[in-house]
Amino acid sequence: MKIKPTVYNQSMEPETADMGQELQAPPPECIICTQDLWKSYDMGGEQQVDALSGVDLAIQRNEYVAIMGPSGSGKSTLMNLIGCLDSPTRGVYWLNGHLVSALADDELARIRNQEIGFVFQTFNLLARASALHNVELPLIYAGVAPAERLERARQTLISVGMGERMSHKPNELSGGQRQRVAIARALVNRPSILLADEPTGNLDSKTGNEIMALLDNLHAQGNTIVVVTHEHDVAEYAHRVVHIRDGKVAWDEKTARAKS
C-alpha cells in the first residue's frame, strides 16, 4: 500500500521559515514532519548538486520506519537532516513540535541532545570507559545529577540485556554487546526518536537478528524508531519503508508486518 505524504501549512511557502514568520505546527502525533526539504551543495562556479530535492515526509509517534536507498540516493543526507546534524538549504522540518529548520547551530545541538538517540554502525563507544560510563555520557552533557544519571544508566543497560556487563570496557565485549551498549546510550536521555544508521552493518547475521529483535521490542514499548539501511532484511523489521531515489521520496509503503 502506497502512502501519500501529508503536507502541513499549505498556505505559506516553505522559504518563509527562514524569514522568521510563524508557521502552523503539525499535529502532536506527527513527530517528524518535513515539507519541501532541500539540501544543495555549491560545487564552485555555477555548478550545484541537489542531494535532496523537495522531500515531504511525515512520521507519526511510535512508528517504526525504515529509510532505504542505494548509494548516492540522498538517504544519508536525509538522515543527517532528521538527526539535526545538518541544516536544510530550504524547506520546513518539524521535530516533536520544534521548527528545527529555523534554528541556529547552538539551538540545533540542544534539540539534538534532547530529542534524538543515535545508534551508529561503528558503535562509537569510548574505548577506555566502561559500559556504564559510556551510557552515562549523554546525561553528563544534559546536566543530570550524578546519583540520578548513574541509576538511569544502570536501568537502561538492564533493559537491553547488559545488566551483568556494566563494568566491562568495549574491548571486553562482543560486537552485539557493544551495539546493545550503544542502544542503551541512545535511550538513556529518553529521546523522542531512536535514529539507527545501519545498526547491523558490523555484525554477523545471527547477532544482527538479535539487535533487530531488540529494536522490535523497544518499538513495542512505545519508542519511535527510524532505521536507515540498504539491507532489505533489516528494512523488513519496520512497519513502513520510505524509498529514496535521486534525492526524492520515490515510494512509501507499509510492510507485511504492518499489514499482519
In a domain, 3, yes or no: no
Q: Is the confidence at residue 238, as pLDDT, over 90?
A: yes
Q: What is the pLDDT, as a whole number, of residue 24?
A: 81
Burial annotation 220-258 (CB, 10 A radius, 16+ → b, else e): eeebbbbbbbeeeebbebbbbbbbbeebbbeebeebeee
In a domain, 160, yes or no: yes
Pick the range with the lowest mean pLDDT from 43-47, 51-55, 85-89, 150-154.
43-47
Question: For residue 208, what are the CA distances in angstroms to 36, 101, 153, 179, 233?
Answer: 34, 34, 23, 10, 10
In a domain, 9, yes or no: no
CATH of the domain at 193: 3.40.50.300
Q: What percent of the chain has pLDDT over 90?
A: 78
Q: What is the pLDDT, as a whole number, of residue 5?
A: 44
In a domain, 7, yes or no: no
3-state secondary structure 181-225: HHHHHHHCCCCCEEEEECCCCCCCHHHHHHHHHHHHHHHHCCCEE
Residue type, 193: I
Cell digits for 149? 544519571
In a domain, 8, yes or no: no
In a domain, 89, yes or no: yes
Distance CA 31, CA 226 (A): 11
The domain in which residue 56 lies consists of 14-259
In a domain, 2, yes or no: no
pLDDT in tens, 5-56: 444 443 334 343 444 456 788 888 999 999 999 999 988 777 889 999 999 9
Average pLDDT over residues 181-206: 94
In the predicted model, what is the mean pLDDT of the chain?
89
34 in Cβ contact with 52 (< 8 Å): no
In a domain, 112, yes or no: yes
Prediction pTM value: 0.87
Q: Residue 90: which of 13, 15, 12 has the closest Cα?
A: 15
Q: What percent of the chain has pLDDT over 70?
A: 91
Residue the block writes with cell 502532536: 28
Domain count, the chain: 1
Distance CA 19, CA 197 (A): 32
Q: Backbone phi, then psi, for 180, in 5-degree steps?
A: -65, -40
Tell me the pLDDT band of 212, cut-offs 50, 70 and 90.
very high
